[in-house]
Chain A
Amino acid sequence: MSRDAVLSAVNLTRHYQIKGSPFSKPATVKALNEATFELYPGQTLAVVGESGCGKSTLARVLTMIEPPTSGKLTISGHEVSLKEGQRPPAALRREVQIIFQNPYGSLNPRKTVATMLEEPLKLNRKEMSAAERREAALEMIAKVGLRPEHADRYPHMFSGGQRQRIAIARALMLNPKILVLDEPVSALDLSIQAQVLNLLADLQEEFGLAYVFISHDLSVVRRIADDVIVMYFGQPVETGPAEEVFTTPRHPYTQALFSATPVADPNRRRERVHLKGEPPSPLAPPPGCPFAPRCHLATEECTQLDPPLDPVNDRVEVACIHVDQAAAKYAVAG
């Protein structure tokens, strides 16, 4: 692409050390392994996977809440080099904001909406007067589809969808370039979910925001994503343009994930790619490909070698040594 990436990650990795106790040995949990991707203004990158696959760790690393163990993170052309416990520079922190899954837990119950929206300005835009801050807050309240009289209310007076609007407004107060959305609609009811997704689409268009959209809901992802990363056990297993990954999933895990997702059409009965068992424990990772114990295509080779992401064509990369076989099998079954 010719445009400049607003965020680029190269081999981003985050490991956690678990301290030993008299009953257990110290261990390393590889929560995120070698994620590489680029994010462009106005684009949505979706990160898909099940619980424990490292989606939220990725969110924490991208928002600089935690430093990566290794790998390179570049935001708006500045390389972020953080040490454990170090705070990232304010200029960079302003660029990336995050919205959490649970709008009930992520808003301070003792602050009014206006106070919450003005707080980032107070800290980062010291030249603004109180009146200017208030005006900016009211403007943002209108942008996210709330009414001016909502400004002086407390979070408990709002419904879930409205609270998520407040969280979105708060994240946008400092004009970030990147929004990390960690399951932003999964706590909301279906009818409210559509409202919030439309709002996110509007705001993206208006501000040219880049979204990192973390979700397990594939129908939502298919709708809004430009690019997709499918993760399993801390590792990206398939990346590429959403349309292509959804129409021709190539990694056996992606195929299983897609076929496990219920489709709201009673006339459609599909052959499922059956997945046996559950994801492995991060404390005892299996040798070789982490998906091998659950994979129907696994061979001896799979338990010996952890496959890297390999390009299938100039758009899609897949981490599987049996990718041709998997793609062929899916085409027949589908």
Chain B
Amino acid sequence: MALLDIEGLSVRFKTSSGLFAAVEGVDINVDRGEVWSIVGESGSGKSVSMLATMGLLPWTAQVTADKMTFDGQDLQQLSSRQRRRIVGGEMSMIFQEPMSSLNPCFTVGTQIDEMIKQHLGGSRKERHERALDLLAQVGIPDPARRIKAYPHQLSGGMSQRVMIAMAISCNPRLLIADEPTTALDVTIQAQILELLLRLQEDTGMALILITHDMGVVAETAKHVVVQYAGRQVEKQDVKSLFANPRHPYTEALLSALPERAGNQARLPTIPGVVPGQHDRPSGCLFNPRCQYATEHCREVEPVPAADDPARTLCHYPLEDGISPSPAAAGAARDNPQSSPHREVRP
């Protein structure tokens, strides 16, 4: 049985202009000790789907799912009291902005202690020792001194280490990291990612990494979920995702990476922008930007084929980089190289 099992997760927000579906049809099942990544651009609903899992969304959000269980417990049926016992303890989360996620009024020691007190208990002395232990574990030099530091006295990398120490303080079985390194420099990012992977290996917890950086995905995750405009467009293991993307969006996104563009004079681009709340197209949400889109794509919303392990949300999933779409023949003629995208000026 999977540790985290989510099927058909949808999140709708009540807005002045009616319900807005921020996330729709997300399936993810994470086993013990697995490293997953959710990748997508801003507005793809990657954070919202995980916040919904944690139960951290405001009351304006309507969360529905066909199935949403953590270690066999139905997350939708939990009372707030039961949920509080799981969230932060067995299932914990790290956020993007380490500086603003810590409370500026308390020392880091107090904030770590609060977590341990809530979930594990123990005497003051035991808790203090555990906190020192944790700080050493996440690679903070001189923990005895740093435990008395206030967040403003720490750099971004150090604050993120403190956040990680808090998140792992109660030996979680699932750690969700929401863009944990986006606000940090690359050399610090490398340190933090290495730390997360080391902790994951040592403790055997499952790790879900939310990111927009394909480089981070390639170097850390084993399995990847790609989201676009709130929909899960495909789900594959990392090697086959990079070698054989199934959804045209993934293919286009990968070829827009400067490092994969090779010596082409122009970077392949995806024309247009991610649709917002008010300009969602009919049919497939990616159709206005998709080079393979047909009339069928513009009218009928795709559903993943039952026999497709990647659960590609596309009428014409790519097979080995070739689209079976009738529109693909024309596209290939215009652009004989394997890289797909014609430049279309908006």
A-side contacts of B194, CB under 8 Å: 272
Q: Mark A170-194, 1 if CB is under 8 A from B, else 0.
A: 0000000000000000000111111
Known: A189-B42, A191-B41, A194-B256. A265 touches B242 (CB 8 A): yes
Total A-B residue pairs with C-beta atoms closer than 8 Å? 116
Q: How far is the CA of A264 from the CA of B186 in the complex (A)?
A: 14
Q: How far is the CA of A184 from the CA of B41 in the complex (A)?
A: 17
A264, B157: Cβ atoms under 8 Å? no
Known: A190-B41, A262-B218, A263-B259. A198 touches B269 (CB 8 A): yes
A198, B266: Cβ atoms under 8 Å? yes
Question: B317 contacts the other chain (Cβ, under 8 Å)?
Answer: no
B261, A264: Cβ atoms under 8 Å? no
Known: A194-B270, A264-B242. A189 touches B343 (CB 8 A): no
Residue of B190, B254, B273 near A272 (CB, 8 A) is B190
A223, B186: Cβ atoms under 8 Å? no
Binds B, one of A81-89, A214-222, A315-323, A326-334: A214-222
B212, A223: Cβ atoms under 8 Å? no
Residue of A159, A193, A265 near B273 (CB, 8 A) is A159
B-side contacts of A285, CB under 8 Å: none
Residue of B188, B261, B346 near A223 (CB, 8 A) is B261
Question: A267 contacts the other chain (Cβ, under 8 Å)?
Answer: yes
Q: Mark A210-251, 1 if CB is under 8 A from B, else 0.
A: 000000101110110000000000000000000000000000
A-side contacts of B252, CB under 8 Å: 191
Residue of A146, A216, A266 near B239 (CB, 8 A) is A266
Residue of A162, A189, A256 near B187 (CB, 8 A) is A256
B341 nearest in chain A by CB position: A194
Question: B258 contacts the other chain (Cβ, under 8 Å)?
Answer: yes
Residue of A162, A197, A265 near B218 (CB, 8 A) is A265
Min CB distance A101 to B, Å, is: 13
A-side contacts of B141, CB under 8 Å: 277
A-side contacts of B343, CB under 8 Å: 198
B-side contacts of A189, CB under 8 Å: 41-42, 212, 274
Residue of A159, A192, A219, A266 near B257 (CB, 8 A) is A219
Question: A51 contacts the other chain (Cβ, under 8 Å)?
Answer: yes
Q: Mark A106-150, 1 if CB is under 8 A from B, else 0.
A: 000000000000000000000000000000000000000110000
Within 8 A of B (CB), among A261-285: 261-269, 272, 275, 277-278
Question: B268 contacts the other chain (Cβ, under 8 Å)?
Answer: yes
Question: A161 contacts the other chain (Cβ, under 8 Å)?
Answer: yes
B274 nearest in chain A by CB position: A189
Q: Mark A288-300, 1 if CB is under 8 A from B, else 0.
A: 0000000000000
Question: A325 contacts the other chain (Cβ, under 8 Å)?
Answer: no
Question: B219 contacts the other chain (Cβ, under 8 Å)?
Answer: yes
Residue of B212, B218, B253, B345 near A266 (CB, 8 A) is B218
B189, A260: Cβ atoms under 8 Å? yes
A-side contacts of B185, CB under 8 Å: 50-51, 216
Question: B335 contacts the other chain (Cβ, under 8 Å)?
Answer: no
Within 8 A of A (CB), among B236-263: 238-239, 241-242, 252-254, 256-261
Min CB distance B304 to A, Å, is: 22
Known: A161-B273, A189-B42, A257-B187. A262 touches B258 (CB 8 A): no
Q: How far is the CA of A275 from the CA of B139 in the complex (A)?
A: 13
B-side contacts of A198, CB under 8 Å: 266-267, 269, 343
Q: How far is the CA of A229 from the CA of B111 in the complex (A)?
A: 41
Residue of A146, A190, A201, A268 near B266 (CB, 8 A) is A201
B191, A275: Cβ atoms under 8 Å? yes
B-side contacts of A194, CB under 8 Å: 256, 258, 267-270
B44 nearest in chain A by CB position: A189
Residue of B186, B187, B191, B257 near A190 (CB, 8 A) is B257
B-side contacts of A195, CB under 8 Å: 269-271, 346
Beyond A193-B256, A272-B190, A275-B191, 4 additional contacts (C-beta under 8 Å) are A50-B186, A191-B256, A195-B270, A260-B189
Chain A residues close to B by CB (< 8 Å)? 50-51, 145-146, 159, 161-162, 189-195, 197-198, 201, 216, 218-220, 222-223, 256-257, 259-269, 272, 275, 277-278
